[in-house]
């Protein structure tokens, strides 16, 4: 899938890299005390709402999130993993997430009251008790998930700005790793030395950005970006899309990560030679460095050879 990036998808991937540098640097601290605000454990919804929510959930969500909300191809919607992801956030955020982005294939198809009913069902399934008063739109902002301990994980480089994982592993791969790798794969089909992009009409920021940093400079940057961002595969606290923790403590996963870092350094040196054959000749190795890990941790489960394998990130 990613060895040779021909056609529009590959081109899109390559151009996307210009904007992908943003590595999630999320500073946060949940210092606020729960003034008089309520938490999800304070009986904030009615049993009747949860019942309606359950029907919607069964019809529209169960295939991806599971009968027990345990997560299938979508993340788990209860339990420790879920609660730590939502720690300190309000029910308004959760209802927005449901209404604006779910179900995955038909976002924005639920009404606000329906999304609220589903949230009520999720609370019930997570053993938060029901109460006498129905949850309504106005109350959502005042109800928060109990703040968990801040993730022990956050590391702080100089300046003290913590690096914390904000994306799941799939989002990180799609946003950072994939577009940079595609710039390198593209050297197989296009000589960076002959690359002279011109500004697009009609205007498009991505295409225009590519006219600023292109050719060998873009290949250098992609190799450096992979070198520097790949260790973030191991960032503590990172989850996979299905809610499982990324297998950061597994020795083989760590080794696959190190292998990709090493190869990216070699790719940078090769790029410095400005020799198309030298870089193109390493594309196979790059493909292997991705595939070795994918074979074990990604392309496993019901969806053969990729897609949303249900066993992703199983440890
Ligand atoms: C086709 C599969 C699919 C269906 C159907 C689906 N989801 Fe999801 N859901 C996902 C995936 C994948 C993610 C992770 C990516 C994201 O957060 O956007 C997700 C994320 C979520 C999250 C965020 C979880 C977290 O910890 O951040 C919530 C909440 C959620 N879904 C609720 C629902 C509800 C409610 C429905 C039904 C109305 C639903 N989903 C239907 C696949 C699906
Ligand atoms: C150390 C292991 C590892 C390495 C190395 C690795 N990946 Fe991944 N990759 C994964 C795992 C695990 C997933 C699934 C993550 C999830 O479901 O949240 C994934 C998911 C992806 C996805 C998203 C697929 C989808 O649509 O769900 C893309 C794209 C991707 N990787 C590209 C790459 C490329 C390109 C490389 C090499 C330059 C690479 N990865 C190297 C482990 C790895």
3-state secondary structure string, 208-228?
A: HHHHHCCHHHHHHHHHHHHHH
Looking at the CA of 57, which ligand is closest? Answer: 1
Lowest mean pLDDT among 11-15, 95-99, 264-268, 302-306: 11-15
Tokens at residue 156, please? 């702080």
Instruction: Specify the ligand 1 atom closest to the Cα of 101.
Output: 18
- Please report the pLDDT score of residue 32 as a whole number: 40
Q: Is 241 in the pocket of ligand 2 (CB under 6 A)?
A: yes
Q: Is 40 in the pocket of ligand 2 (CB under 6 A)?
A: no
User: Can you list the positions of beta strands (E) in 16-65?
Assistant: 38-39
pLDDT tens digits, residue range 22-62? 333 333 333 344 345 799 999 999 999 999 999 999 999 99
- Segment 82-104 shows an average pLDDT of 92
Q: Quick one: DSSP state of residue 143?
A: E
**Gap from CA of 117 to ligand 1 centroid (Å):** 15
**Gap from CA of 65 to ligand 1 centroid (Å):** 7
Would the pLDDT of 296 be above 70? yes
For the ranges 1-10, 120-129, 142-151, the one whose mean pLDDT is highest:
120-129
d(CA 218, CA 202): 23
Say if residues 179 and 13 touch (Cβ distance below 8 Å): yes
Q: Is 180 in the pocket of ligand 2 (CB under 6 A)?
A: no
Lowest mean pLDDT among 73-82, 105-114, 165-174, 266-275: 73-82
Instruction: Specify the ligand 1 atom closest to the Cα of 94.
Output: 29
Q: Is 143 in the pocket of ligand 2 (CB under 6 A)?
A: no
Say if residues 176 and 260 touch (Cβ distance below 8 Å): no
Please state which CATH number belongs to domain 40-144: 1.10.760.10
Q: Is 223 in the pocket of ligand 2 (CB under 6 A)?
A: no
**Gap from CA of 125 to ligand 2 centroid (Å):** 31
Of 221, 197, 216, the closest CA to residue 280 belongs to 216
**Gap from CA of 170 to ligand 2 centroid (Å):** 6
Q: Is 257 in the pocket of ligand 2 (CB under 6 A)?
A: yes
Would the pLDDT of 142 be above 80? yes
Lowest mean pLDDT among 149-163, 186-200, 239-253, 267-281: 149-163
Q: Which residue has the higher pLDDT, 157 or 82?
A: 82
Say if residues 221 and 210 touch (Cβ distance below 8 Å): no
Q: Is 20 in the pocket of ligand 2 (CB under 6 A)?
A: no
Instruction: Name the residue with the closest Cα to ligand 1, atom 30.
Output: 98
* pTM of the model as a whole: 0.76
Instruction: Specify the ligand 1 atom closest to the Cα of 61.
Output: 37
Q: Where in the chain is the domain with CATH 1.10.760.10?
A: 40-144
Lowest mean pLDDT among 33-47, 117-131, 235-249: 33-47
d(CA 24, CA 58): 34
- Please report the pLDDT score of residue 195 as a whole number: 87
- Please report the pLDDT score of residue 293 as a whole number: 97
Residues having CB within 6 Å of any atom of ligand 1: 60-61, 63-65, 73-75, 77, 82, 85, 94, 97-98, 101-105, 118, 241
Q: Which residue has the higher pLDDT, 211 or 149?
A: 211
């Amino acid at each position: 899938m990613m060895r040779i990036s021909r056609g529009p998808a590959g081109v899109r991937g390559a151009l996307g890299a210009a904007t992908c540098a943003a590595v999630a640097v999320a500073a946060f601290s949940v210092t606020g005390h729960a003034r008089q605000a309520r938490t999800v454990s304070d009986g904030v919804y009615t049993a009747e709402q949860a019942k309606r929510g359950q029907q919607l959930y069964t019809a529209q969500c169960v295939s991806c999130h599971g009968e027990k909300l345990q997560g299938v191809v979508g993340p788990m919607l209860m339990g420790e993993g879920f609660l730590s992801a939502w720690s300190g956030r309000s029910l308004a955020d959760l209802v927005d997430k449901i209404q604006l982005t779910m179900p995955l294939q038909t976002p924005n198809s639920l009404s606000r009251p329906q999304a609220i009913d589903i949230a009520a069902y999720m609370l019930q399934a997570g053993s938060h008790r029901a109460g006498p008063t129905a949850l309504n739109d106005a109350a959502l902002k005042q109800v928060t998930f109990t703040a968990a301990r801040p993730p022990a994980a956050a590391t702080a480089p100089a300046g003290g700005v913590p690096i914390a994982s904000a994306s799941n592993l799939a989002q990180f791969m799609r946003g950072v790793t994939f577009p940079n790798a595609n710039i390198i794969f593209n050297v197989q089909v296009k000589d960076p030395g002959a690359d002279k992009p011109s500004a697009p009409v009609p205007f498009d920021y991505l295409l225009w950005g590519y006219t600023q940093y292109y050719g060998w400079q873009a290949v250098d940057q992609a190799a450096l970006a992979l070198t520097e961002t790949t260790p973030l595969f191991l960032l503590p606290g990172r989850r996979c899309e299905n809610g499982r923790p990324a297998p950061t403590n597994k020795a083989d996963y760590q080794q696959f990560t190190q292998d990709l870092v090493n190869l990216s350094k070699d790719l940078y040196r090769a790029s410095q030679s400005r020799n198309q054959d030298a870089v193109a000749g390493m594309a196979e190795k790059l493909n292997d460095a991705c595939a070795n890990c994918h074979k074990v941790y990604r392309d496993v489960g019901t969806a053969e050879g990729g897609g949303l394998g249900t066993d992703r990130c199983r440890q």
